[in-house]
Amino acid sequence: MNHVLAPADSASLIRREVAGLPGYDPGADPDEVAALSGARRVIKLSNNESPFGVSPAVAEAVRLGLADGVSRYPDPTGRRLAEAIGKSLDVPAGRVVLGNGSENILELLCQAVLDPGELVVTQAPGFSLHETFPRVMGARVEKVPVTAGFGFDADAWREALAAGPKLVFLANPCNPTGAMLDAGQLEQIVAATPRSALLVLDEAYGEFARTDPEYPDGLEALRALDRPWIVLRTFSKAYGLAGVRVGYGIASDTALIQALDRVRTPYNVNRPAQDAAIAALGDHEHLADTVRRTRLEIARVTDRLRGAGLRVVPSSTNFLFIDTGRRSDGVARELHRAGIIVKAWREPGYENYIRASLSTPEDNDVFVRCLTEICAKDKP
């Protein structure tokens, strides 16, 4: 057998839109950081995961499902999970779509809705996939900047929405800033969005914000509208299920769900993910506990970093967007050497920022100490 690989050049096969895409940046590899730092335990603050784990009911549900066998395909409709979600939110199960993470639904929406050259409006700084998936379809992406104080720029949004987008991706709260829109601001976006556009409200961090009376529950805000919308949520963040990949959307109407069903791979949500999500959804106490502990840490760490002179954006999520006062890729490298992984932000204008999700109080203390030490050195 000849194991020598002949050099093949597939570059000419690749669509122009795909060849020009930036790769997704998942953050540094924990094994590499462990090797670099010699740390026994790496503190991973780069992916907005929950440090508080999952409901104990999840392990049991997955175990029972696995005992039942994995030789059969999962339910392609995810009926039990869709019904449980529908019941918890008072919407018909036929208006619920499930995804292999809510990222999968972002992708399906682009596939179902976007023609080449059409316009998508989203925010900057923002979530990279809100730009990547539209670009795969050949759509144009217009990113509305936040104000200098990381607030909502009503005029800029109005102007961008007046250009006639087909799709609007709005994350509330926003990743990476952690800031949220209040009810009045969301209402302004809804009012300015053309009726011919699909409004996608990405509430990946909604569970953390919902205890704030100023936070508008997207489903309640959009429910009564007679125009196309979809609210996206996920089990990856507050529910702690990032590893099994399951998210969902609640849509304005069943026709949108049926279109997504036509483009999705039929078994997109695996059996353990469906079982895990049903169990997680039923444990209100674990969710409330995670949200409560997260909010305490967000408030505490924000205070400590500000006390050390760092600028920190007020966060309604489980992560902080922090101005390090110098190029943040260098700061991230120094943190790696201490066994801590954060994301150095790369969007133009934000190269001094890191995004760090919080962990347990002990780990957060290590993070605060290392970061403030790094930022106190040779202050620019």
Ligand X SMILES: *Cc1c(COP(=O)(O)O)cnc(C)c1O
Site residues (vs ligand X, CB under 6 A)? 48, 101-103, 127, 171, 175, 202, 204, 234, 236-237, 242, 247
Question: 363 forms bridges with which residues in the sheet?
Answer: none
Q: Which is nearer to ligand X, 127 or 367 (CB)?
A: 127
Q: What is the sign of the dihedral through the CA atoms of 186, 188, 191 and 196?
A: negative
CB atoms within 10 A of CB 261: 16
| 35 Cβ contact partners less than 8 Å away, ≥ 6 residues apart | none
Q: Are 128 and 24 in contact (CB under 8 A)?
A: yes
- The upper half-sphere exposure of residue 281, i.e. CA atoms within 13 Å in the direction of its Cβ, equals 22
Q: Rank residues 55 and 357 by Cβ distance to ligand X and give the closer one.
A: 357
From the CB of 318, what's the least distance to ligand X, in Å? 10
Shortest distance (Å) from residue 369 CB to ligand X = 27
Q: Report the distance separating Cα 97 and Cα 106, nearest Å.
A: 11
Report how far residue 267's alpha carbon sits from residue 86's, in angstroms, rounded to the nearest whole number.
20
Compare residues 128 and 185 and give the one whose CB is closer to ligand X.
Answer: 128
Which CB sits closer to ligand X, 74 or 339? 74
CA atoms 42, 43, 46, 51: torsion sign: positive
Burial status of residue 242 (CB atoms within 10 A of its CB: 0-12, 13-18, 19 or more): middle
Query: Which residue is closest to ligand X by CB?
Result: 101
CB of 103 or CB of 275, closer to ligand X = 103
Nearest approach in angstroms of CB 209 to ligand X is: 12
Q: How far is the CB of 32 from ligand X (least distance, A)?
A: 22
- Measured from the CB atom, the residue of 202 and 297 that comes closer to ligand X is 202
Minimum distance from residue 125 beta carbon to ligand X (Å)? 11
Which of 102/268 has CB closer to ligand X?
Answer: 102
Minimum CB separation from ligand X for residue 239, in Å?
10
Nearer to ligand X, 304 or 317 (CB): 317
d(CA 13, CA 213): 52
Tell the smallest beta-carbon distance from residue 350 to ligand X (Å): 16
Tell me which H or E stretch contains 96: strand 96-99
Write down the least CB distance from residue 3 to ligand X, Å: 37
Please state the separation of Cα 131 from the chain's center in Å.
13
Which residue, 204, 260, 267, 241, is CA-closest to 75?
A: 267
